[in-house]
């Protein structure tokens, strides 16, 4: 079985994001960029399934500018077999990304597509669901445990009231949550080995996809600054302060 994993290039989660002075976007010049953390977990799970003998090949894919090849390289260093970059100069929204994934799925015919449940830059949480709908394949989202036996994947997923277990027939689409695993550390020999692994670059337009992006971001703004807290001596003073603000 072949597994396809999506990797998105995002500002590293340790970086304090800054909005450009003119409000036109997020400042990324000189900022550390990394693989979306949820996608890194998705890749780790795919590699573990391959190591357990449940899959033969892991292919990583990213959509974006040529700079996204850096994230493909990271995926190859983690242990993926091949990388595919779909080049697009402009921002790609969820539906267009799902359409691009669908084209690659038609070409590669993976038994399993594993994606992060969302990206930390836009938090859309849509691509996996849209992809499953476009492919007319079973889906399991927010996976915290994945087990594959034959042509069936047993997925434990996190829901508001606790845990839910689903069984989906393969081929299928799975999106993963944070508690699924801890991604492995990349060692220098792995980085060197990754340099010889095959990479493929395709233009988004060559897939015959027209942008389905109908949303236009007009302005970015940082969150409002929190007001300074007020110290009180005791509970009666706290109650009096809350009453004074009309909260009690």
Percent of the chain surpassing pLDDT 70: 99
Query: Structural domain of residue 234, as residue ranges?
Result: 2-244
Percent of the chain surpassing pLDDT 90: 66
Q: Where does the pLDDT of residue 169 fall: very low under 50, low under 70, confident under 90, or very high at 90 and above?
A: very high
End-to-end alpha-carbon separation of the chain, Å? 61
Residue closest to 113 by CA, chosen among 90, 146, 159: 146
**How many other β-carbons are positioned within 10 Å of the β-carbon of residue 198?**
10
pLDDT in tens, 95-111: 899 999 999 999 999 99
pLDDT in tens, 45-64: 999 999 999 999 999 999 99
User: What is the per-residue DSSP string for 134-159?
Assistant: HHT--EEEEEEEEEEETTEEEEEEEE
Per-residue pLDDT at 121: 87
Query: Can you tell me whether residue 197 is helix, strand or coil?
Result: coil
Mean pLDDT over 197-207 rounds to 92
E strand or H helix at 82: strand 82-87
**HEC assignment per residue over 94-119:** HHHHHHHHHHHHHHHCCCEEEEECCC
Per-residue pLDDT at 23: 82
Residue closest to 72 by CA, chosen among 180, 204, 174, 198: 198
pTM of structure: 0.85
pLDDT at 206 over 70: yes
pLDDT at 211 over 70: no
Mean pLDDT over 4-32 rounds to 88
How many structural domains is the chain composed of?
Answer: 1
pLDDT at 214 over 90: no
**How many other β-carbons are positioned within 10 Å of the β-carbon of residue 93?**
18
Per-residue pLDDT at 92: 85
Per-residue pLDDT at 213: 67
Per-residue pLDDT at 50: 96
Q: Mark out the alpha helices in the chain (DSSP H runs).
A: 37-51, 69-78, 94-108, 127-135, 188-194, 235-244
pLDDT in tens, 115-152: 999 999 888 899 999 999 999 999 999 999 999 999 99
Which comes out higher in pLDDT, residue 233 or 91?
Answer: 233
Per-residue pLDDT at 212: 63
- Give me the CATH number covering residue 61: 3.40.50.620
Q: Where does the pLDDT of residue 6 fall: very low under 50, low under 70, confident under 90, or very high at 90 and above?
A: very high
pLDDT at 90 over 90: no
Q: Are 157 and 142 in contact (CB under 8 A)?
A: yes
Give the chain's mean pLDDT.
91
Residue closest to 4 by CA, chosen among 37, 43, 36: 43
Per-residue pLDDT at 72: 95
């Amino acid at each position: 079985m072949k597994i396809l994993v999506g990797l998105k290039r995002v500002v590293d989660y340790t970086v304090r994001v800054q909005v450009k002075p003119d409000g036109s976007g997020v400042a990324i010049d000189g900022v550390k960029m990394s693989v979306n953390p949820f996608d890194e977990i998705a890749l780790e799970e795919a590699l573990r399934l391959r190591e357990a003998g449940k899959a033969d090949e892991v292919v990583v894919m990213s959509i974006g500018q040529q700079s996204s090849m850096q994230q493909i390289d990271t995926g190859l260093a983690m242990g993926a077999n091949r990388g595919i970059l779909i080049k697009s100069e402009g921002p790609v929204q969820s539906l267009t990304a799902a359409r691009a994934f669908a084209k690659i799925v038609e070409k590669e015919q993976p038994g399993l597509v594993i994606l992060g449940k969302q990206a930390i830059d836009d938090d859309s949480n849509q691509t996996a669901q849209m992809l499953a709908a476009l492919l007319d394949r079973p889906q399991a989202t927010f996976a915290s445990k994945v087990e594959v036996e034959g042509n069936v994947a047993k997925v434990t997923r996190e829901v508001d009231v606790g845990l839910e277990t689903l069984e989906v027939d393969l081929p299928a689409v799975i999106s993963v949550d944070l508690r699924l695993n801890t991604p492995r550390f990349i060692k220098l020999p792995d980085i060197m080995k990754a340099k010889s692994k095959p990479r493929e670059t395709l233009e988004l337009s060559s897939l015959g996809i027209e942008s389905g992006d109908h949303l236009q971001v007009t302005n970015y703004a940082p969150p409002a600054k929190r007001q300074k807290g007020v110290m009180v001596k005791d509970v009666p003073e706290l109650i009096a302060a809350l009453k004074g603000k009309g909260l009690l």
